């Protein structure tokens, strides 16, 4: 096992307080960088280190057509002198805008697949790796969202960054909330809390699938990371705390109410939230505080830290939704 990494992100990211009836703070992981902004870069610092240790020349990964993770991988590859090959799911004609525009600018090889084909994307990526091997190249496959035992280390480190901030600023966060899309961000924060015995509430809000699905996925990948670190604890689905009910019409699809909430929130906070991830999850935070605050806090005095995981570029691909 190796806890080494390369440096790709601007860390630590700032934390700011918002004006709501509850004490809500935002950790600006949308400011980890420009081209490489968002949460995926924290995972890639560890994953790309592992790829380089294995002397890889190509990073293969996957996601939706507007995947932030695929874009961050394309930029990381360019930065480290490697190539990237992205498998992106799209059933319609591809419009080169938002993240996929950046993928193209950063020189990624892009294979567009249907959502049906995407169900077997792990096999497609393994086949591509073999093809590269035949050409004498060494490709490295990064799973969806870089949410595996190595990628999770990025948010384990973030948890410790939050503890350092608390010490410096004399503040205590009772609850940490993040968006759940493939589970690695939540898994890392959960592990940090577990290993530091910090006893914070770590809460995820899923923007695809169901809470049950992610409790299974996250307990598995969190256990994998603990084993990788030489710890034997078995994380169970009951350890994982996910608030369901904010997926709406499905992954990367918006309702009018979600779009209206996003527009209001941008004006109120002067922070740009994205329609696919943080906009939905932050709406989940505000709605839950209104309807069932005990789910998030013990009292109104508690401090809530929302992790802004980025997603800036997808807003440009969805400009029509906002007009």
Ligand X SMILES: *Cc1c(COP(=O)(O)O)cnc(C)c1O
Contact 251, 272 (CB under 8 A): no
State the distance between the two ends of the chain, measured CA to CA, in whole angstroms. 49
- State how far the Cα of 84 lies from the Cα of 127, in Å rounded to an integer: 15
Question: Would you count residue 225 as binding ligand X (CB under 6 A)?
Answer: no
Q: Does 154 help bind ligand X (rule: CB under 6 A)?
A: no
String of contacts with ligand X for each residue 168-207, x by CB under 6 A: -----------xxxxxxxx---------------------
Rounded Cα distance between 213 and 55, Å, is 35
Q: Cα 74–75–80 angle (5° rounding)? A: 100
Name the residue nearer to ligand X (CB basis): 77 or 222: 222
Residue with smaller CB distance to ligand X, 12 or 151 = 151
Q: Which stretch binds ligand X (CB under 6 A): 16-24, 107-115, 284-292, 308-316?
A: 308-316
> How many residues comprise the chain?
323
By CB under 6 A, residue 69 contacts ligand X: yes
Q: What is the CA radius of gyration of the chain?
A: 19
Shortest Å, Cβ 182 to ligand X? 3
Nearer to ligand X, 145 or 284 (CB): 145
Binding mask 258-297 for ligand X (x = CB under 6 A): ----------------x--xx-------------------
How many CB atoms lie under 10 A from the CB of residue 97?
15
Q: What is the smallest separation between the CB atom of 156 and ligand X, expressed in angstroms? A: 12
How far apart are CB 271 and ligand X at their closest, in Å? 13
208 binds ligand X (CB under 6 A): no
Pairing of strands 242-243, 175-180: unpaired
Which run of H or of E encompasses 86? strand 83-89
Rounded to an integer, what distance in angstroms lies between the CA atom of residue 154 and that of residue 152?
5
In the complex, least distance from residue 81 CB atom to ligand X, rounded to whole angstroms: 25
Strand partners, 177: 203, 306
Q: For residue 246, state whether it binds ligand X (rule: CB under 6 A).
A: no
Report the DSSP beta bridge partners of residue 87. 62, 111
Q: Does 311 bind ligand X (CB under 6 A)?
A: yes
Catalytic residue positions? 67
Q: Which of 82, 310, 313, 315 binds ligand X (CB under 6 A)?
A: 310
List Cβ neighbours of 130 (8 Å cut-off, separation of 6 or more). none
Q: Residues interacting with ligand X, by CB under 6 A?
A: 38-40, 68-69, 145, 147, 179-186, 274, 277-278, 309-311
């Amino acid at each position: 096992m190796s806890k080494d990494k390369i440096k790709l992100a601007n860390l630590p990211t700032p934390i700011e307080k918002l004006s709501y009836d509850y004490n809500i703070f935002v950790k600006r992981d949308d400011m980890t960088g420009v081209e490489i902004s968002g949460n995926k870069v924290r995972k890639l610092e560890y994953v790309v280190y592992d790829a380089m240790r294995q002397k890889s020349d190509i990073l293969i990964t996957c996601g939706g057509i507007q995947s932030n993770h695929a874009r961050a991988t394309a930029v990381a590859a360019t930065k480290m002198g490697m190539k990237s090959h992205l498998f992106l799911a799209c059933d319609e004609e591809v419009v080169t805008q938002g993240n996929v525009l950046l993928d193209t600018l950063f020189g990624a090889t892009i294979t567009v697949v249907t959502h049906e084909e995407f169900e077997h994307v792990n096999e497609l990526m393994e086949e591509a790796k073999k093809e590269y091997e035949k050409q004498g190249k060494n490709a490295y496959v990064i799973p969806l969202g870089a949410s595996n035992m190595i990628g999770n280390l990025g948010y384990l480190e973030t948890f410790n960054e939050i503890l350092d901030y608390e010490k410096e600023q004399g503040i205590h966060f009772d609850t940490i909330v993040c968006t759940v899309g493939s589970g690695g961000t939540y898994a890392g924060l959960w592990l940090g809390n577990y290993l530091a015995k910090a006893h914070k509430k770590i809460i995820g809000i899923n923007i695809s699938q169901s809470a049950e699905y992610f409790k299974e996925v996250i307990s598995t990948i969190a256990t994998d990371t603990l084993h990788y670190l030489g710890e034997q604890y078995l994380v169970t689905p009951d350890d994982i705390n996910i608030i369901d009910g904010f997926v709406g019409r499905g992954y990367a699809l918006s309702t009018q109410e979600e779009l209206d909430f996003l527009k209001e929130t941008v004006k109120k906070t002067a922070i740009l939230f994205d329609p696919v991830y943080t906009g939905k999850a932050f709406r989940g935070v505000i709605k839950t505080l209104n309807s069932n605050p005990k789910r998030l806090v013990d009292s109104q005095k508690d401090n809530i830290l929302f992790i802004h995981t980025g997603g800036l570029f997808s807003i440009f691909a969805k400009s029509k939704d906002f007009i």
